[in-house]
Amino acid sequence: MVKFTASEIRDIIISMLAISFAFALLLSRSTGFNINVIITLMPITLIVVGFGFVFHELSHKFVAIRYGYWAEYKMWIQGLFLALITPLFGFIFAAPGAVYIHGEYISKEENGKISVSGSITNIIFASFFLLILIALPNNGYITILAFYGVFINGFLAFFNQLPFFGLDGSKVIKWNPFVWILVVIVSLGFTAIGYFPDLLSLIL
């Protein structure tokens, strides 16, 4: 049975708000972090990160519970601070917290599948937003929302597959290097759309 503690819900909400603001900061960097631009971007990043970040972490939790382990999301203060500071330097450290799993004898395969589930969820969301872009290429706010949905979910999937900092990638690559490479390539493709919007012209 899936259960959420009061502190876990609090940590998820705080982390979601913080990383949404961090992405708004990052995306506004070209305007000199214009406050009006940040305010305009916040509803978009809240929606996109609401899907991307929260369901990324919940995927870890649900898969771990499916294997019979206790799993709980906990905020990481240092990671939260880095998420808010790094956009000022043109990148983002997107790890304000993590799902902590408790259980004995967690196999390499189980650990790998739990770890990759978050990035797979992001790839699914990025694909969904890409379909919206294809269907509604010139639909104002919806198109902007979908564009950032592709980029942010692709970035979250890729970032978490980096094989260091205790991120998911180090566990996935130990379990199945082929799955790791595939997820990295796909997530990089979605992320590239955010940095090179002209790539969309090859699709649309």
pLDDT surpassing 60 at residue 2: yes
Catalytic positions:
57
pLDDT band of residue 140 (cuts 50, 70, 90) is confident
Domain ranges of the chain: 6-202
Determine the pLDDT at residue 59.
97
Enumerate helices (H) and strands (E) in the chain, giving the number of each: 7, 2
pLDDT surpassing 60 at residue 203: no
Q: Which of 110, 100, 112 is closest to 70 using CA atoms?
A: 100
Mean pLDDT of the chain: 91
Q: Give the number of other Cβ atoms within 10 Å of residue 43's Cβ.
A: 13
Q: Which of 150, 125, 124 is closest to 137 using CA atoms?
A: 150
pLDDT surpassing 70 at residue 200: no
C-beta of residue 101 within 8 angstroms of C-beta of residue 59 = no
Q: How far apart are CA 194 and CA 21, in angstroms?
A: 18
**Out of 35-39, 57-61, 112-116, 131-135, which region has the weakest mean confidence (pLDDT)?**
131-135
Determine the pLDDT at residue 198.
62
Determine the pLDDT at residue 103.
79
pLDDT surpassing 60 at residue 147: yes
Determine the pLDDT at residue 134.
87
Task: Give tens-digit pLDDT for 77-108.
Answer: 999 999 999 999 999 999 999 999 987 789 99
C-beta of residue 75 within 8 angstroms of C-beta of residue 100 = no
Nearby residues of 9 by Cβ (< 8 Å), 6 or more positions away: none
Residue 124 sits at φ, ψ, to 5 deg, of -65, -45
Length of the chain in terms of residues written: 204
Q: How far apart are CA 22 and CA 45, in angstroms?
A: 9
pLDDT surpassing 60 at residue 123: yes
Amino acid code (one letter) for 22: A
pLDDT surpassing 90 at residue 6: yes
Q: Where is pLDDT greater, at 168 or 105? A: 168
C-beta of residue 150 within 8 angstroms of C-beta of residue 194 = yes
Q: How far is CA 130 from the centre of its chain?
A: 16
